[in-house]
Amino acid sequence: MRAVTGFVMTVLFSCTLTSCGQTSPESSNTQFYGHDNRRAELEFDGEMEVSLPPSYIQPVSELLNSYLSDRVKELINLQVQHLMGAFTEHPKFKRTPGSISGNPKITNIQATKGTKPGYARITYHFKDVSAFHKNLLVGNRKTIEFDLPRNVEEIFKRGIPEGGDENTCTDDHYNTEGDFWYFWNPYKQGCPLTKEDLVSIKGTLTALPATQDSYPDYNRLFEDGKVSITYLVGIDESFRESDLGHKSYKESIRTLKAKGGKLTLDKERQKRFVFSTEDGEVTIDMHLVDPNKTRFTTLAQQGMQESEVFIYDGHSGLGGHLDPDRFYDLTLPLNQYQIFYFNGCSTFTYYNERYFDLKSTDNDRAGSKNLDIITTTISAPFHIGSENDMSFISGLISSKRPSWQSIIDDIYETSGAEDSPLTNVNGDEDNPRKPR
């Protein structure tokens, strides 16, 4: 499971309020294709409980006009983060998991008197793009029910049994308050949370169009007869050979050699393979990296700014590892066609719209004409990472010039139904409809 070790992002979503959620109104209109997952608009009315400090003496109805306004909005944001755990860990969604895009529009925030003294009841309206396993969206519209914490400030503490020192409502390994929202599960055996700690919510999923017969823009990709691929493989915990990331790195090296790649640079943690294809020369620069270190950010920024294709396989770090804000003045080439493959946990939420924003121009507000992004909807296991990556690279440099749908289908086949991270391609709605 590639989720949370290392650099931790304290705020999951780039925006929650309507005023900032509309900074890039076109990006959420991009379409996508997933073999086993579909995109849908999720909408619901949320509710939560917020404690009031003793110094607050104004009427509760004036709460959002007071010095506590920003705190209330931050707590709404934190409650919404818990959708990640709800849609992957809770029993209702174990077989049909999903996630949201991470750029929600939250409107109609209101504060009223709480059911207990010293508390306020906060309500709001939520709307965002999501992706779910296709079996949940058999029709075009569906009502779903799920639970969120009633009081996000107290929920972690309440998950620690009396006399205990560990939260029993979350992952046994990732057991801190900072990553609780990603793994929380009030239905886990031994969890002391009760119905009073939860808010039951009904939401509506409305299916969005999926692309058909779209192709990578091979002509632009091979425009000068050369393609540069930056391929970063992140370690799990260490550089030891027994490390899961290290094993993926070694497996990819073996596969690239077997496919006829010429090894022109051979260092312990860096390899360079060159392929001669019918379309031109493909150079793959591979690096084994620690995503917590500066070397990773340097290589990632250079790869995304200079290469036609960028691949990262490893921990997402709760979105922090490749958060655009982590880099120094990350500037993508606006007129160059690029493909990014983020093969980690829940990258549909973390790295999708924010990278399209970096490609946005006056003539391409969505940022998708010069960028296609492959992401995962849920957790991506390490043991299939290399096979996913190799399937993608093989399709991309194949003389057959397969469609995006074929490439994503092939990636799914290397994962299988049990291990599939619900991989999808985003922003391909304006791509060629023929391989040219």
Q: What are phi and psi of 80, to 5 degrees?
A: -65, -30
Q: Quick check: helix, strand or coil at residue 308?
A: coil
Whole-number pLDDT of residue 2: 52
Going by their DSSP bridges, the two strands 309-313 and 371-376 should be labelled as unpaired
Task: Report d(CA 113, CA 117) in Å as an integer.
Answer: 8
Confidence (pLDDT) at 11: 41
> pLDDT value at position 154?
96
Nearest one of 70, 71, 66, 65 to 51, comparing CA atoms: 71
In this prediction, residue 103 carries a pLDDT of 86
User: What one-character DSSP code corresponds to residue 61?
Assistant: G
Give pLDDT, residue 30: 63
- What pLDDT sits at residue 16? 40
Query: Which sign, positive or negative, has the C-alpha torsion 367, 279, 286, 99?
Result: positive
Residues with pLDDT less than 70, the chain: 1-30
Alpha-carbon distance of 222 to 397, in angstroms, equals 10
3-state secondary structure of 260: coil
Q: What is the pLDDT of residue 140?
A: 86
CATH code of domain 218-426: 3.40.50
For the chain, what are the domain ranges?
32-207, 218-426
Find residue 55's DSSP bridge partners.
Answer: none
pTM more than 0.75: yes
pLDDT digits (tens, 9 = 90+) for 380-426: 999 999 999 999 999 999 989 999 999 999 999 999 999 999 999 99
Alpha-carbon distance of 316 to 5, in angstroms, equals 8
Given this model, what pLDDT does residue 257 score? 97
334 contacts 328 by C-beta, under 8 angstroms: no
CA angle (2 as vertex; 182, 266 as ends), nearest 5: 155
**What's the pLDDT tens digit per position in 287-300?**
999 999 999 999 99
The distance in angstroms from the start CA to the end CA of the chain is: 38
Say what the pLDDT of residue 29 is: 57
CA–CA distances in Å: residue 412 to residues 99, 313, 351, 425: 18, 16, 20, 12
* Helix pair 244-258, 385-396: axis angle to 10 deg: 30
Closest CA to 322 of 291, 294, 289: 291
Contacts of 353 (CB under 8 A, 6+ apart): 14, 24, 27, 28, 101, 102, 103
Confidence (pLDDT) at 297: 97
- Residue 370: phi and psi, rounded to 5, are -115, 15
Predicted pLDDT of residue 15:
41
